[in-house]
Structure formats: C-alpha cells, structure tokens
Structure 1
Amino acid sequence: MSAGFADIDWARPWLAPIETRGRRWQAAALNGYADYLAALNEDALQAALVTGRGERLAFIAQEELPAGASYEGHIAQTGSVPTRHNLHDFFNGSMWFAYPRIKAALNARQAQQIDALGIGPTRGGVRDALTLFDENAVLFACADASLADALRAFDWRTLFVVERAAWGARCEARIFGHALLEKLVAPYRACTGHAWIVDVPADYFSLDDAARRALIDDRVAQRLNTELLDSRTFAPLPVLGVPGWWDANASSDFYDDTTVFRPGRRSR
C-alpha cells in the first residue's frame, strides 16, 4: 500500500530542503515497505547520526517496538526509530536528516521526562510542548526584531503585506513539524503551524540552504537543551500566508480572511 506517497508534490516550496533525499525515499516507498526501510537505513548508515543519548540512528518496522516500550524512550536507548509505511513517518524520518541536532535534542528531553515521570495518561506540560514542536513547529528565522514582534502580535498585515519584501532578506519560514508536512500534502488555507522564533544574523540570508539549516539546527538544539518549555513558547503561523508559498497570497485580499488570519492577542 503506497499510503499517499504518490501524492507528494515536490514543487511545493516548503519541501525544497528535503527534496533530493525525499524523492529517493518516495520511489522506495512506492516499491514497498521493505525497500522503504532499506533506503532509510542506507542513508542512516552513511550519515552516522545519533539519537538523544548518542545511539546510532536506524529505522525499524513499527511492529519491532517491544510491547510496553515507549516510542521516545526506545529511540533514545537503542537508536532505532519505529517507522510505519505512511506519510507521517516519512516526514519524521526526513527531519532526522534535515535537522539532526534538533531531533536528538527533542528525543533527549522526551526520554528525560519519561525517566522522571514515567508513562501516564497525560504527558505533562514539558512533554506536550516537545511533542507540539516535533509535530507542528515552523522555524521562523529572523534577523529583524520588528518582524518577530509582528508575528507574536498577530499583525498579519505588517508581516505579510507591508513587509513582504523582508521575506528571504530578513526572515524566512522552515517547516520542521512532520505532522504539519503531512497535512500540507493536501494544502488548505487554514493550515497553521506553531512558529518557533530563531534569531539569526543578517548574513544568514547570504548563506546557501545547507549552511542555513546547519546554523538553525545548532541554535535551536542548544535552546531545547536548556530552556523551560510550554505551549506559550510558540506563535501561530498560517503557513499558506508565507509569501511565495501559495499563489493566492500574492493578492493582499488573501489576508482579509479573519477565520484564518485572526486578530488574536493583538486586540487585547
């Protein structure tokens, strides 16, 4: 079963950072589950990445997760990521290669919380925030504090219309959350990510994609290792509002839909 792999449109701009590897994985996934896992593990062997406690990254079939074992804890202890033959886990695997330090930092914090609190009916505030990041984060790289302020204040007109030329020059968005990437295989206007603001130097925007990702990977991972986390750390970001990501947003009228571009905290 292809599980929607054929529906990935690599022309979508938010997929550009993972396209090269993603196309190979897509072809393997369309051939079957075994070929798909083999492709992931071949790349993992070459990349020599590690999970939250320094274990070498690998991918296993979901049914190989031992009964009673926690998903995050198993990854931290063994390095093996239980992986299903579906889009959700396809994009999760992709993020291990695009942002390996962030993924390892998330895994380390998740495992730490499990060790301290165990597995209960609820995750608790820190694990909830870590899961939210893992599933739905958008990394908002920004060299202009006024743009970060506009995002936090829900000032969509400033962020997307007045300062439209700033995108790619003083700010940009990079999707990290694998559940969000899965949703965007079939994009819809209200699709919203949880933006994590990353302060970057002005010369960040002169770097190539690999260098930008490496800089963000390092800075965000360091913060995840030390910061107190809760859901208030994030700012909502309707992702199809990002200039250049959706043809309809070339018209400023696109941002008049207050069911998507809500006034939020700005009106308080």
Structure 2
Amino acid sequence: MRFVAPSREVFDRAVLRHPPLAAWNAVGDWIAAARFPSVAELNRDWDAGWRFVEQTPQLLADGLHYETRIHARAEIATRADNWHDFFNALVWRRFTPLKAALNRRQVAEIALMGDKQRSRAQCALTHFDEGGVIVVLRDRELLARWDAHDWRALFWEAREAWCDGTIRAEVFGHALLEMALVPGKLITGKAIAVVAGPDDGDAMTTVARAIDNGSILTDPQELRALPISGIPGWNPANDSAAFYAEAECFRPLRAGRIYPEPLRVA
C-alpha cells in the first residue's frame, strides 16, 4: 500500500524531537511550519551548482528524464506542497556530494539502458536514494549480529553501543524521513555499512566515492535491511525486549542471503 503522509495541518510536531527527524533541527522551522517553502526559499543560501525548480506541466514538456534534467540542466524538479519532494530537497542541501554521485550513476545507467528499462544497478541506486541509511560502526561483532538479523543482540543487548557512538545511523533516504512524520511507525531502511576508526568524519565521502566509482550499488541485494525503529530512542516501544521479538519489522535472515563486505573509511 502506498504511504500517504499526514498533512501539515495535522501532523504531530512531537516527532521532530526524536530521531530520525531530530537530526534535522537546523531546518526544523521549515519542517514544522504551516506551509511548505517555495522553490525560491529552498534555493536560498544553497550555492552548490544545482537549483530546485517547480515541477509543472511546462517543465515536463521538455521530455527529459528526471535524472537527465538534473545532470544536463542542474534542475531538480520539485512538486509544490509535497512532503516527499520537500524532504528530497533537504537531503540535496545537506548531502549534496552523495546526491550528485547517485545522479551521475543514474545518468550513466540511463545511457546504457534507455529511459524505458531499468537495470539492477538503477534499482539499487533508487532504493538507497529513497530508503537509504548509512551506518558507521567500530565493532565488527556488531556487524556480525546485524548480518545474521539477530535483532535482539544488535539493538537490545548492544544498546550502549548505540548510545556511545560505537555504532550510529544517518538516515539519507527522503522516503524514510517522510514516514517518520507518523509517530511510532515501524520503519526499515536500506543500509550501507561503513567500518571506521576513532574518527568517522570521512564516512560520507567514502560512500560518495564508492557510489561514483561503481564499487557499490550495482544490485539491490547489496543493501542491508536495517529496521531503524529498533535503534534505542527511535521508537517509544523499543524500551522493551519483547518489542524485538514481536514487531513486524524484525524479519529473519532469508536462507542463502549473504551481504557484501562493508566499506572502510579511506
């Protein structure tokens, strides 16, 4: 069933105080406001070489693929009064190198496939663009628990690791941010794992570089499922061990599923 976000008039602003939306406090006023910002407002103080343009019938009359328009004209088509496109704009502003890398890869695949067919790589790129999470961790044992879908061990038994920064998640996908508007909604992301040392400052650059050079996101099966609702403090129900045994988002590992090696911070 297609997700329908609550309207600006009725959505519970309390969700802004909890992850993942709490990580967007710098633009919290835009999220909490009674109206959506215009494309002119979205473009303000963002001088990265791209610009948001309102998606209108006149714009679409150029016949360009959405990704091709971004690449050829540096124009990001954005629907007015639309949560999905609004969060996409916020991600573009905050994680510009990652979004640009995804766009370059998409355009390269379109050149190979045409704009009527989609490759496995395009599916992977889209899944990450929409539902992506970047997980930075310093303990390979946590990765082993995650890859086994041992959710109780990963989230409940290792709660301290999520609190002290041994493992942390950065939500990248704009569709996940849109879903987070619903209090208590069970949400699962598509994650890229990055193993880091004491300083994880280059983790985002590492992911962007790997996307650009084609070493990741060649197939959707590369992406690790991550029920972000299990991260301590991200869902009010997860303060009980029973949550990890009962909630629908915690699914067992499918037979034969093997995840790739994680990235390493360069």
Match of 1:216 in 2: 203
Out of 5, 8, 16, the residue aligned to residue 5 of structure 1 is 8
SS of equivalent residue, structure 1 residue 243: coil
1:125 equivalent in alignment to 2:120:
yes
SS of equivalent residue, structure 1 residue 252: coil
- C-alpha change, 1:147 and 1:178, in structure 2 (3 Å) is same
Aligned pair count reads: 244
Tell whether the 8 Å contact from 2:179 to 2:185 is kept in structure 1 after alignment. no
TM-score, structure 2 normalization: 0.84
Output the amino acid matched with 1:113.
Answer: E
Match of 1:58 in 2: 51
Output the amino acid matched with 1:16.
Answer: A
Please give the residue correspondences for 1:12-31 in structure 2 after superposition, counting only pairs within 5 Å: 12-24=18-30, 27=33, 30-31=34-35
Output the amino acid matched with 2:7.
Answer: G
Please give the residue correspondences for 1:36-75 in structure 2 after superposition, counting only pairs within 5 Å: 36-44=38-46, 48-49=47-48, 56-63=49-56, 64-75=59-70
Q: Distance in 1 between matches of 2:253 and 2:204?
A: 30
Identify, as 1 or 2, the structure richer in helix.
1
Output the amino acid matched with 1:216.
Answer: A
Match of 1:257 in 2: 246
Please give the residue correspondences for 1:229-244 in structure 2 after superposition, counting only pairs within 5 Å: 229-244=218-233
| Structure 1 stretches of 4+ moved >3 Å | 24-27, 187-190, 265-268
Please give the residue correspondences for 1:132-147 in structure 2 after superposition, counting only pairs within 5 Å: 132-147=127-142
Output the amino acid matched with 1:57.
Answer: W
| Deviation at residue 76 of structure 1 after TM alignment | 0.9
Match of 2:264 in 1: none
Please give the residue correspondences for 1:94-113 in structure 2 after superposition, counting only pairs within 5 Å: 94-113=90-109
| Deviation at residue 188 of structure 1 after TM alignment | 4.6
| Deviation at residue 65 of structure 1 after TM alignment | 3.4
Q: Distance in 2 between matches of 1:117 and 1:221?
A: 23
Output the amino acid matched with 2:225.
Answer: P
% identical aligned pairs:
35
TM-score, structure 1 normalization: 0.83
Output the amino acid matched with 1:248.
Answer: A
Tell whether the 8 Å contact from 1:144 to 1:170 is kept in structure 2 after alignment. yes
Output the amino acid matched with 1:192.
Answer: T
- C-alpha change, 1:266 and 1:257, in structure 2 (3 Å) is farther
Match of 1:191 in 2: 187
Output the amino acid matched with 2:188.
Answer: T
Please give the residue correspondences for 1:159-178 in structure 2 after superposition, counting only pairs within 5 Å: 159-167=154-162, 168-178=164-174
SS of equivalent residue, structure 1 residue 244: coil
Which one is further off, 250-259 or 105-114? Answer: 250-259
SS of equivalent residue, structure 1 residue 190: coil
Match of 1:245 in 2: 234
Output the amino acid matched with 2:101.
Answer: A
Output the amino acid matched with 1:36.
Answer: S
Tell whether the 8 Å contact from 2:184 to 2:237 is kept in structure 1 after alignment. no
Gapped regions of structure 2 (runs ≥ 5): 258-266
Match of 2:71 in 1: 76
Gapped regions of structure 1 (runs ≥ 5): 50-55, 205-211
Superposed CA offset, 1:40-85 (max 9, x none): 11132xxx21xxxxxx110101112334210001001111100012
- C-alpha change, 1:248 and 1:258, in structure 2 (3 Å) is closer
| Deviation at residue 24 of structure 1 after TM alignment | 3.3
